[in-house]
Structure 1
Amino acid sequence: MTLSGNVQEGAWSVNVQTEPAEDGGYRSKIQVRHSSPEGDFEHAFRQGKKFNTERDAVLDGLREGMTWIGLKMARTIKM
């Protein structure tokens, strides 16, 4: 089974989908989006950590994606 999650508010969103890790467990594929007057930002990446359950992978993936959004909105990172 593949779990997915989505968090969004206003001009930003985080989408997460779990996938089996090669050596057992699960990882998340994370996609973040943020629209602003300076332009749209979109970034997709795979989570580096591995989890025993899909639930843990999707929850941590959402947290990690929301951290990216927070850093982008605070202009701490620029991509």
Structure 2
Amino acid sequence: MTISANVQQGTWSVDVRTEAAPDGGFRATIHVAQGSPDGDFEHTFHHAKVFVTEREAVLEGLREGMTWIVLKSTKTIAV
């Protein structure tokens, strides 16, 4: 079973999808997108950790994606 989730507001969005990890457990693939006058930003990456349950994977994926949006919005990081 695959769980997916989406959070969005205004010009940004975070999409997360879980998948079974090769060695057991589940990992999250995270896609973040933000539109801004400085240019649109999109980035897709895997969460660094493998989780025991899909629920943990999708929740942590959303947290990680939201952290990226905050860092990008406050210009703490430039990618």
TM-score, normalised via structure 1 length: 0.98
Deviation at residue 2 of structure 1 after TM alignment: 0.1
Q: Which residue of 2 aligns with 1:4?
A: 4
Identity %: 62
Q: How many positions carry a matched residue from both structures?
A: 79
Q: For 2:22 and 2:76, how far apart are their aligned partners in 1?
A: 33
Aligned partner of residue 40 in structure 2, secondary structure: strand
Q: CA deviation at 1:55?
A: 0.5
1:51 is the counterpart of 2:56: no
1:18-58 CA deviation, whole Å, 9 max, x = no partner?
A: 01111100000000000000000000001110111001100
Read off the aligned partner of 1:15 and give its amino acid letter: D
CA distance in 2, matches of 1:47, 1:60: 8
Q: Which runs of 5+ in 2 are unaligned?
A: none
Gaps of 5+ in 1: none
In the alignment, which residue of structure 2 is the partner of 1:13? Answer: 13
Could you say what the CA RMSD is over the residues aligned between the two structures, in angstroms? 0.4
Structure 1 equivalent of residue 71 of structure 2: 71
Paired position in structure 1 for 2:42: 42
Structure 1 or 2: more strand by fraction: 1
The offset of 1:65, in angstroms, is 0.1
> Residue type of the partner of 1:50?
V
State the distance in 1 between where 2:51 and 2:61 align: 11
